[in-house]
Amino acid sequence: MSDNSPAIFPASLRTVGRLAPAIAILGLLLLGAGLGIGGSSLDRVIQYYYYGWIITLGFSLGCYGLMLLHYVVKGSWGYPVIRIWESGARMLPGLLIAALPIFLLREHLFPWAQPELTSNPENAVLIHRLGYLNPTWIAIRAIIYFTFWIGSTQFLTGLSRKQDETKDPTLIQARTNFSAVALVLFVLTANFAYTDWVMSLELRWYSTIFGVWFVISNSMCALALASVITSLFHNKAPYADSVDNAVRKDYGNLLLMHTMVWAYFSFSQWVIIWSGNLPDEIEFYLHRFADGWLSVGAFLVIFQFFGPFLLLLSGKTKRKPMLLGAVATWLILMRLTDICWQIFPSFKGTNPLFLVPALGAALVFLGIWLTAVMRSMSSALAIPVWVEPIKDEVLHHA
C-alpha cells in the first residue's frame, strides 16, 4: 500500500488540503485591498510580513506544545488529532527560513535595530538593553530556539511514525520521558523567544508574563484548528469513529480553559501595570488606547472572552460538532485580531484599518502553512496505530 493511498490519507483531509490554497488566495485579495489603506512602503510591507510570520509561527509552536503535552499525559482527546499537531510542528524549518527577511530588514521593525534611537542618550533604557538585544545575540538565540524545537520535533515524530511500523511498545515511554523534559524547556525557550521577537517592538516596555501569554495563545490556536477540522468532518473518516461526544466535550472544555487562562493573563498584566503606573510600563497600553485601538481592545474583551466563555459553558455547544466548530473558528479569528492589537500599535501611524491588510497577510501565510501540513500528514497514517491502551482522560466537569 502506498503511503499516499486513500486508506492512509482520507478524503476529508484531502479536502482540507484543497481548501488551504483558497485561504491563501483570499488573503492575497485582502492584502491587496488593504495596501491602499495602510500604504505599500517597505516599512508597511515588512510589518505585514512580520505579522503573518508571527501568526503562523504561533500555530506551529501551539501544535508543538500540544504534541508534547499529549505525549506526556496520553489523554484520549489527543489521539485522534496528534497527526495534525505533529505535522504542524514539522513546519518549523520552513518558518526558520521565512524569518530571514525579518532579520535582514529588522531596522524597519525593532527599536534596537534603529541607529537613530540607539545613539540617542535619552533612550537610556534601550541603550542599556543593547548588550542583550543586538543582532548578533538575537540571531544566536534564534538558532538555539529553532534547533531545539526542530530537533525535538523530528526525534519525537520519528518515534511516533516508527511505532506505526514496528508497534514497539517501548517507544511509548521513550516519547513520554523525552517530552516531559522538552515541555518545560519549550515554555522557557518560547518565553525568551517572544521577548526577543515581539516584546522588543516597544522602546522601553517589558512584562514578565508576556511570553507565557503567547504560549497559551498559540496553544489555543492549535487546539481550535484541531476542533474545526474534527467538527467539519465529524461524520467522515478518520474522525467519525475516533471523535465521539466525550472527546468532543474534551475539546470544548480545553478551549474553555484556554479562554479563561488567556483572560487571566491579559487582565493580570493590565491590572499590575495600571496599579504601578510607571512610565516605562504604561507605554504599551498608551499606544493601544490611542488612534482607535481602544475600540479593538474593548471588542476583544467582549468577543474573545465573554462570548466564547458563555458559549463553551454550555454542554450543548460541546456536544454539537457544528456549534463547537463555529466557536473554534471564531476563536481563531479573535486570536488573529488580538495579536494584531498586540503588534501594530507599536508601529507609528497605524490604526484599526490596518487589520485588513494584516489579516490578509496572516491568511496568506496560514494557507501556505496548512497546505504543507496536509502534505506532511499524507506521508503517515492519519490516526496512528499505537499498541498502548489510551488512557481515558475525559474531562467530566462541564
DSSP 75: B
Residue 207, classed as helix, strand or coil, is coil
The dihedral of CA 34, 38, 44, 49: what is its sign?
Answer: negative
Q: Which amino acid is residue 222, in one-letter code?
A: A
Give the whole-angstrom CA distance, residue 331 versus residue 314. 16
Q: Do 230 and 251 contact (CB within 8 A), yes or no?
A: yes
Give CA angle at 186 (220, 263), nearest 5°.
Answer: 35
Rounded to whole angstroms, what are the CA distances from 390 to 80, 242, 255, 380, 386? 11, 12, 21, 20, 9
pLDDT, position 8: 61
| C-alpha cell, 113 | 535595530
Rounded to whole angstroms, what are the CA distances from 180 to 150, 217, 264? 16, 21, 25
Give CA angle at 64 (59, 68), nearest 5°.
Answer: 145
pLDDT, position 355: 94
Residue in this structure with the C-alpha cell 475525559, named with its chain if needed: 394
Q: Do 79 and 242 contact (CB within 8 A), yes or no?
A: yes
Residue in this structure with the C-alpha cell 466535550, named with its chain if needed: 249
Give the whole-angstrom CA distance, residue 98 versus residue 54. 10
pLDDT, position 4: 38
**Would you give the distance in Å from CA 234 to the centre of its chain?**
24
pLDDT, position 370: 98
Instruction: Note down pLDDT in tens along the chain; length 398 residues.
Output: 334 343 467 889 999 999 999 999 999 999 999 888 777 789 999 999 999 999 999 999 999 999 999 999 998 899 999 999 999 999 999 999 999 999 999 999 999 999 999 999 999 989 999 999 999 999 999 999 999 999 999 999 999 999 988 888 889 899 999 999 999 999 999 999 999 999 999 998 999 999 999 999 999 999 999 999 999 999 998 999 899 999 999 999 999 999 999 999 999 999 999 999 888 889 999 999 998 999 999 999 999 999 999 999 999 999 999 999 999 999 999 999 999 999 999 999 999 999 999 999 999 999 999 999 999 999 888 888 764 444 444 444 34
- Region of residue 10 (left: phi > 0; alpha: psi -120 to 50; beta: else): beta
Length of the chain: 398
pLDDT, position 244: 92
Q: What share of the chain is helix, strand, coil (3-state, %, to 5)?
A: 75, 0, 25
pLDDT, position 36: 82
- CB neighbour class for 163 (10 Å; exposed up to 12, middle 13-18, buried from 19): buried
**Would you give the distance in Å from CA 4 to the centre of its chain?**
28
Give CA angle at 211 (74, 226), nearest 5°.
Answer: 40
**Would you give the distance in Å from CA 373 to the centre of its chain?**
14
pLDDT, position 392: 44
Q: Do 210 and 199 contact (CB within 8 A), yes or no?
A: yes
pLDDT, position 393: 41
Count Cα neighbours of 288 within 13 Å in the Cβ-side half-sphere.
Answer: 20
Give the whole-angstrom CA distance, residue 309 versus residue 313. 6
pLDDT, position 328: 98
- Region of residue 290 (left: phi > 0; alpha: psi -120 to 50; beta: else): beta
